[in-house]
Structure 1
Amino acid sequence: MESRQLQLFRAIVDHGSFTAAAEALLMTQPSLSTAVKNLEKELGTQLLIRTRSGVVLTESGQEVYHLAVQVLDQMEYAAARVKGFSSGNVGRVVMNVAPTFNWEFLPQLVRHFRTETPGVDFVLEDPDPGTTLSHLREGQADIGIVPTGDVEALRAIHPDLRFEVVTHVDLVLALPTEEPDPEKKGPIRLEEVSHLDWFIPRVRQELPGLPEILENHWRHHPETRPKRIQHVATIQTALPLVAGGAGVTLVPRSLSSLIHGVVTYREVEDAIPPLILVALWHPTRYQPPAVTRVLERILAAATPTAPTDTPDR
C-alpha cells in the first residue's frame, strides 16, 4: 500500500464519486478505477461500492479511509516541518544571554519571532559570561550575548569565536537613597561617593568588562578611587547590596527601573565609557537556518555605528 494509492482513494471518497475525483485529479476514470482495483486486490477486500448517487464505503473501506487521512496528514505535516527547518521558519535556538540584554533587547527579539516566525522556539539561559563562552565551545549554546569593555581584546583572547557588536550600554550610578544627599538631583561626580564601599564584578581574564573600565578611570583620576572595593559575581548581584545600604555600584541604564524607593539612580558626570554588548557564536560549527535567522535579526537591530557583518552559515 503506497501513499499514492491512499491519495487517490481519499480523493474518491472526499469528492463522492469516481467522476468528480478524476476531474479534480486530472485523470481518466479508467485509470482511477484501475488504481482502486489494485488496492483492493492487494488488501484482499472490497473498499468501495458504486451507486448511482456516488460511492459507498464498505467497513474495510472506512478503515482504509481513516488510515489514509491520518497518514497523508502526517506526511503533509512532516513535509512542512522539513521545509520550515531548511528555511529557518522552524527550529530551536539556545541562547546564553547576559541579564543586561534580557531587560532591554531580549523581549523585543522574542516578540518578533513569536509574531513573524512562531515555529522558532527559544531556550533562554543567563549563566555568567565565562560559562557562556564554554557553552558555545562545547555546543551547548548556539548564540551568546555578553558585555565587554574592549571588543578587540575579546577577539584576541578568543580567536576561535566570532564576535559582533550589538549595542553600547550607558552606565548610571546606583546608590542607597540616603546617599550622598537625598535632596540633590542630577549628575553626580564619582569623587562624591569615593568614601563609600563599591561593589563591582570580579576581574575575568577571559572577558574584559566593567572592572577594566573602572580601573582605567581610577588610574587616570585617582581622586575618584573608592576607599574600599568589594567584588561580586555580576552587576545584578550588587543591586540587593546597594538596596540594603551597603554601598554603590554602576549598572546599565536599562536596570534603573529596578528596586526603586531604596535605590537611587544618578547620571555620572565623569566620562565613563559604556559597556558594549556583543553577540558571539562558534563560526566553524554548523548553524541551523533558524540560528542564522536569529543572528541576522540581532545584528540587523544593532547600533547603526557598530559593525554588523552577516553571520557565517
Structure 2
Amino acid sequence: MELRQLRYFLVVADELHFGRAAERLHITQPPLTVAVKSLERELGVRLFDRTTRRVTLTAAGQAFRDRIQAAVADLDDAAGDVADVAAGKSGKIRVGFVSSASYTTVPEAIRTFRQYRPRVDLVLHPLTSGEQVEQLLDGNLDLGLIRDPGDVPGLNLELLSTEDLVLVLPETHRLAAAKVVRPEDLEGEPMILFPYRLMPGFVARVLRLFDSLPSPPMVVQQAIHQETILGLVAAGLGVSVLPESVQRFQMPGVATRRFVGRPQTELHVARAGGGSPAVEDFVLCLRGRIPE
C-alpha cells in the first residue's frame, strides 16, 4: 500500500467523481482508476460503488476514509514540521549561560528570538562555565555562553563581547573613596570568588591581576552565583572582582570601582559542533541582529 494510493482514494472519496478527482490531482483518469482498483485488491474489499451515473462510497470505503484521513493529515503535518525544523523555524534549542550574561546580551536576544522564531522552544539553563563545558561535551546543551573559557578541546568558541573587570567592595570600605584602584591596593585583602572548578578561566584571570604582589588577596569564601557574592560583600566578608555589568544589579551596601588599566573579561559563545539553523539564528540575536 502506497501513500500515493491513499491520497488518490481520499480525493475520489471527496469528489465522488473520477474525472473531477483526476483534474484535482493533475493526472489523467486511467492511472487514477488503476490505483484505486489496486488498493481495493490489496484490501480485499470494494471501496466504491460505481455506475454510469454516479460514484458512492461503500460502507467499507466510508470506514476506511474515516480511519486514514487523520493519518494522512498527520503525515503531511510531520513532513511540514521536519522541513520547518531543518529551516530553523520550529524545534527546540537548549542554551546555557553564566549569570553575568543575564545582565547584558541574553534578555534582548531572547525577546528578539521569540519575536522572529515563536515556534522554536528556547530552553534556558543558568549554569557556570565549568558546568556548561561538561554539558556541551555530553550533548545536553546546544549552545553555551561561557566566560573566559580559554582553549577547550571539542568546543567551537566565538568571542561575543568583552567588558571591564571591576572591584566590588562594601560601601564603607577604605577604597570606596577612590575613583580607581590598583591591584596592589588589595594586598592581603579577604576576597570572595567563584569556585575555580566551576569558573576556571574567569577565576584564573582575576587571580592573575595579583601575580606580582608579595601578599595577594586571600580567598576566604566561595560562591556559585554572582548575586550571592554581592550579598557576602555587602555583609562585609570581603571584596570581589566581577564583570562591569554587575553594576546593573542594585545591591544596597555595595560599591564598585574601576581598576587602573581596565583589565577585561570575555564572554564566548560555545558549541560542540556546527549547530542547527535555529542555533545559528539565536547566535544572530545575541549579536544584536535579526534572523531572516
Give the TM-score normalised by structure 1.
0.72
Go from structure 1 to structure 2 and tell me whether the alpha carbon gap of 1:42 and 1:212 turns closer, same or farther (over 3 Å shift): closer
| Residue among 263, 276, 282 paired with 1:289 | 276
- Give the aligned partner of residue 241 of structure 1: 232
Moved more, 232-241 or 50-59: 50-59
- Give the aligned partner of residue 38 of structure 2: 38
1:113-124 equivalent positions in 2, closer than 5 A: 113-124=113-124
Go from structure 1 to structure 2 and tell me whether the alpha carbon gap of 1:25 and 1:45 turns closer, same or farther (over 3 Å shift): same
- Give the aligned partner of residue 260 of structure 2: 270
C-alpha contact (below 8 Å) 2:48/2:55 kept by paired residues: yes
Structure 1 stretches lacking a partner, 5+ long: 303-313
1:7-156 equivalent positions in 2, closer than 5 A: 7-49=7-49, 55-148=55-148, 154-155=150-151
Superposition deviation, residue 119 in structure 1 = 4.3
Are residue 201 (structure 1) and residue 194 (structure 2) matched?
yes
Go from structure 1 to structure 2 and tell me whether the alpha carbon gap of 1:51 and 1:230 turns closer, same or farther (over 3 Å shift): farther
Amino acid at match of 1:162: N
C-alpha contact (below 8 Å) 1:200/1:211 kept by paired residues: no
C-alpha contact (below 8 Å) 1:147/1:275 kept by paired residues: yes
Amino acid at match of 1:249: S
Instruction: Describe the SS at the equivalent of 1:170.
Output: strand
Structure 2 stretches lacking a partner, 5+ long: none
Amino acid at match of 1:293: E
C-alpha contact (below 8 Å) 1:174/1:263 kept by paired residues: no
Superposition deviation, residue 147 in structure 1 = 1.1
Could you report, residue by residue, the CA deviation over 1:24-63 in whole angstroms, capped at 9, with x for unpaired residues?
A: 1122334433433333333333333458996543332222
TM-align CA RMSD: 3.8
Could you report, residue by residue, the CA deviation over 1:63-88 in whole angstroms, capped at 9, with x for unpaired residues?
A: 22123322211221222233234334
| Residue among 149, 158, 162 paired with 1:168 | 162
Go from structure 1 to structure 2 and tell me whether the alpha carbon gap of 1:124 and 1:232 turns closer, same or farther (over 3 Å shift): same
| Percent of aligned positions that are identical | 28
C-alpha contact (below 8 Å) 1:202/1:231 kept by paired residues: no
C-alpha contact (below 8 Å) 1:90/1:120 kept by paired residues: yes
Go from structure 1 to structure 2 and tell me whether the alpha carbon gap of 1:181 and 1:203 turns closer, same or farther (over 3 Å shift): closer
Moved more, 189-198 or 270-279: 189-198
Superposition deviation, residue 117 in structure 1 = 3.0
Amino acid at match of 1:115: Q
Q: Tell me how far apart the structure 2 counterparts of residues 55 and 267 of structure 1 sit (CA, whole Å).
A: 86
Could you report, residue by residue, the CA deviation over 1:122-166 in whole angstroms, capped at 9, with x for unpaired residues?
A: 333233322322333333333332112xx7xx22xx344332211
Superposition deviation, residue 292 in structure 1 = 5.4
C-alpha contact (below 8 Å) 1:10/1:69 kept by paired residues: yes
Q: Tell me how far apart the structure 1 counterparts of residues 143 and 91 of structure 2 sit (CA, whole Å).
A: 14
Go from structure 1 to structure 2 and tell me whether the alpha carbon gap of 1:38 and 1:81 turns closer, same or farther (over 3 Å shift): same
- Give the aligned partner of residue 254 of structure 1: 245
Q: Tell me how far apart the structure 1 counterparts of residues 53 and 242 of structure 2 sit (CA, whole Å).
A: 78
Q: Tell me how far apart the structure 2 counterparts of residues 187 and 291 of structure 1 sit (CA, whole Å).
A: 45
Go from structure 1 to structure 2 and tell me whether the alpha carbon gap of 1:136 and 1:37 turns closer, same or farther (over 3 Å shift): closer
C-alpha contact (below 8 Å) 2:144/2:270 kept by paired residues: yes
Q: Tell me how far apart the structure 2 counterparts of residues 2 and 106 of structure 1 sit (CA, whole Å).
A: 48
C-alpha contact (below 8 Å) 1:93/1:290 kept by paired residues: no
Could you report, residue by residue, the CA deviation over 1:188-230 in whole angstroms, capped at 9, with x for unpaired residues?
A: 54688879643223445983324533x444456889x65x542
Count of matched residue positions in the alignment of Structure 1 and Structure 2: 287
Go from structure 1 to structure 2 and tell me whether the alpha carbon gap of 1:205 and 1:177 turns closer, same or farther (over 3 Å shift): closer
C-alpha contact (below 8 Å) 2:93/2:142 kept by paired residues: yes
- Give the aligned partner of residue 311 of structure 1: none
Are residue 212 (structure 1) and residue 205 (structure 2) matched?
yes
Moved more, 168-177 or 268-277: 168-177
Superposition deviation, residue 8 in structure 1 = 0.9
Amino acid at match of 2:249: L
Superposition deviation, residue 246 in structure 1 = 3.1
Amino acid at match of 1:280: A
Superposition deviation, residue 274 in structure 1 = 1.9
C-alpha contact (below 8 Å) 1:180/1:193 kept by paired residues: no
